[in-house]
Structure 1
Amino acid sequence: MENSRFRQRKLPAKARTRGPMPVAGDPSHLFEDTSGNMDAPGYEGSGAGFGPSGQGFLSDPVVSNLAMAYGSSLASQGKNIVDQNIDRLIPVSKLKYYFAVDTVYVGKKLGLLIFPYMHQSWEVRYQQDSPVAPRVEVNAPDLYIPAMAFITYLLVAGFALGTQSRFSPEILGMQASSALIWLVIEVLAILLSLYLVTVNTDLTTIDLVAFAGYKYVGMITGVVAGLIFGRTGYYVALGWCCISIVVFMIRTLRLKILSEAAAEGVLVRGTRNQLRMYLTMAIAAVQPIFMWVSTTQSSG
């Protein structure tokens, strides 16, 4: 009886088996095919929740605010680095001073360049150990007039060549290149001369570029006079402007180059003053030569 009961209890267990028992040594029972279970409703793979969870992470307002703050911080740091490197190569803060002009200053400065004979005071006023801006001080150097005069001179020279049927882009490019090269050579020569004479002055390279660039105003006047009145008008206007620029340069640079003479002894002051005066007169005398050489080709 006990054996029959045991058999009866075992029969349902055998009935529940769905397939044959795996045979020992058969390698197919080591692996189970679960690919059909991936489509089951409750299945979640390792990458199934990556997309929604990543979108939820980026859509979190706290995370987005932190990302924006970090990005703005990086942008400000990059801007500061760029500004520092640019200021080392190009003194932008100093250039702003030389372009601080207005219409009244430009008119007065042009009149001073062409008629410097009646001007009395040539000193530049200072405020808190820094020179006053050019728009309130006509004696201060600027870069606006030299830059605009250089561009205007090229346009006027091109027009003059066109009236003579000699205009070509190559000739105009050569004139622009030669004018710029002569300006650079002039500034470098002045710097070398100041170094050899051992002059301690507050003149900077930008000041020298500004003073050397004022000659283009006289060059424009001579070419325009030549277009209107012919060769005679060209010679008269250019001669007047050459004398004016010489007077302007001597009276302006004399104060800059001789500014340290009062702190030296009598003997040293006498010898060095002669060298400085010769240097000032040489710088002023070079201006008419550059003006003549640069305008002869365009004036015909």
Structure 2
Amino acid sequence: MNQESSFRAPPKRRVRGPNPNISTPHQLFDDTSGGPVPHGGEYPNHSSPALGIPAQAFLSEPMSNFAMAYGSSLASQGKEMMDKNIDRIIPVSKIKYYFAVDTVYVGKKIGLLMFPYMHQDWEVRYQQDTPVAPRFDINAPDLYIPVMAFITYILVAGLALGTQSRFSPEILGMQASSALAWLIVEVLAILLSLYLVTVNTDLTTVDLVAFSGYKYVGMISGVISGLLFGKTGYYVVLSWCGISVVFFMIRTLRLKILSEAAAEGVLVRGARNQLRMYLTMAIAAVQPIFMYWLTYHLVR
């Protein structure tokens, strides 16, 4: 063996395809490994060379758009249904009216609550059978002052308890719960009284909450005076605020409760007017009682 033959490359292996002229007797299927794919058995092309977009993405995009449209439609229907149910229970659109206030209105309304004796015009102004927003009419009820006064009352109560070394989160929570419970009981009692007396009035539950919540302004003034000047200052200021709230409630509720009396007969009007006036005076008279009941233990 010479050196040239030792470095000779191995011979290439020739792959021979089947001879079409020779048929195998035992072959069940045609051998297509070495030839072109038959026309009827072409495999699907998974891409679109003309558009440059995969066929799977092209087919799935309409489905995703349909799913997004269907989901957004369900979400809008659910939101509309929820808004209708919430508005049926809590009139959100009407509640917005009671918070339509500004700084000028808040200052004038607090002054009216503290000094209502010089005020002359107590009529609520209307525009196309709809009462104007509170910021345009000082006689209109609002919820901003009652809500803010309630929160401030809780804070002042915590301050008063802290100065007496009686503060604790539990006691402050009981104070807030008690004040809220008495407010709810008061409003429910007024609604029941109006129903029993069969008074046709445009007073709503939100109006009653607003009018009942105005007393917290006087309660805050009384407690702060008690902290600064002792029990004497507390009783003086609370008495003044109580009388002012009674006067304010009588002048305001009298127009609301007696608003339907003009459409009745003379005899019916006289009997019902007297009963309605008693009801108005009773609602106004309980305000100082609640004011004292919720604040007397805060001043020592």
* TM norm. shorter chain > 0.5: yes
Please report the TM-score for the alignment, with normalisation by the length of structure 2: 0.82
Whichever structure has more helix as a proportion of its residues is 1
| Corresponding residue SS for 2:222 | helix
RMSD over aligned CA atoms reads 2.9
* Alpha-carbon distance between aligned partners in 2 of 1:59 and 1:141, rounded to the nearest angstrom: 56
Deviations 1:83-106 (A, max 9, x none): 212111110110011011000000
* Alpha-carbon distance between aligned partners in 2 of 1:277 and 1:41, rounded to the nearest angstrom: 103
Q: Which of 56, 59, 65 is matched with 2:58 structurally? A: 56
Q: Is 2:265 the partner of 1:298?
A: no
Does the C-alpha gap of structure 1 residues 197 and 15 become closer, same or farther in structure 2, counting only changes over 3 Å?
closer
* Alpha-carbon distance between aligned partners in 2 of 1:59 and 1:293, rounded to the nearest angstrom: 69
Q: CA offset at residue 69 of structure 1?
A: 4.6
Deviations 1:158-197 (A, max 9, x none): 0110011010111111110110010000000000101111
* Alpha-carbon distance between aligned partners in 1 of 2:37 and 2:110, rounded to the nearest angstrom: 88
| Corresponding residue SS for 1:127 | coil
Alignment partner, residue 124 of structure 1: 124
Give the AA of the match of 2:290.
Answer: F
* Alpha-carbon distance between aligned partners in 2 of 1:13 and 1:232, rounded to the nearest angstrom: 124
Alignment partner, residue 91 of structure 2: 91
* Alpha-carbon distance between aligned partners in 2 of 1:208 and 1:167, rounded to the nearest angstrom: 32
Q: CA offset at residue 14 of structure 1?
A: 10
Give the AA of the match of 2:57.
Answer: Q
Q: CA offset at residue 75 of structure 1?
A: 3.4
Q: CA offset at residue 229 of structure 1?
A: 1.1
* Alpha-carbon distance between aligned partners in 2 of 1:53 and 1:245, rounded to the nearest angstrom: 78
* Alpha-carbon distance between aligned partners in 2 of 1:266 and 1:82, rounded to the nearest angstrom: 48
- Number of residues of Structure 1 aligned to a counterpart in Structure 2: 273
Alignment partner, residue 254 of structure 1: 254
| Corresponding residue SS for 1:167 | coil
Q: Which of 15, 24, 40 is matched with 1:17 structurally? A: 24
Does the C-alpha gap of structure 1 residues 124 and 13 become closer, same or farther in structure 2, counting only changes over 3 Å?
closer
* Alpha-carbon distance between aligned partners in 1 of 2:149 and 2:228, rounded to the nearest angstrom: 19
Question: What are structure 1's unaligned runs of at least 5 residues?
Answer: 1-11, 23-28
Alignment partner, residue 108 of structure 2: 108
Alignment partner, residue 158 of structure 1: 158
Does the C-alpha gap of structure 1 residues 105 and 15 become closer, same or farther in structure 2, counting only changes over 3 Å?
closer
Within 5 A, what are the aligned runs for 1:112-191?
A: 112-191=112-191
Give the AA of the match of 1:55.
Answer: A
* Alpha-carbon distance between aligned partners in 2 of 1:238 and 1:41, rounded to the nearest angstrom: 102
Q: CA offset at residue 206 of structure 1?
A: 0.5
Give the AA of the match of 1:291.
Answer: M
* Alpha-carbon distance between aligned partners in 1 of 2:284 and 2:20, rounded to the nearest angstrom: 121
Alignment partner, residue 269 of structure 1: 269
Alignment partner, residue 244 of structure 1: 244
* Alpha-carbon distance between aligned partners in 2 of 1:251 and 1:59, rounded to the nearest angstrom: 68
Which deviates the most, 90-99 or 74-83? 74-83
Give the AA of the match of 2:280.
Answer: T
Question: What are structure 2's unaligned runs of at least 5 residues?
Answer: 1-18, 48-53
Alignment partner, residue 280 of structure 2: 280
Q: CA offset at residue 213 of structure 1?
A: 0.4
Q: Is 2:214 the partner of 1:199?
A: no
Structure 1 vs Structure 2: percent identity of aligned residues?
74
Give the AA of the match of 2:128.
Answer: Q
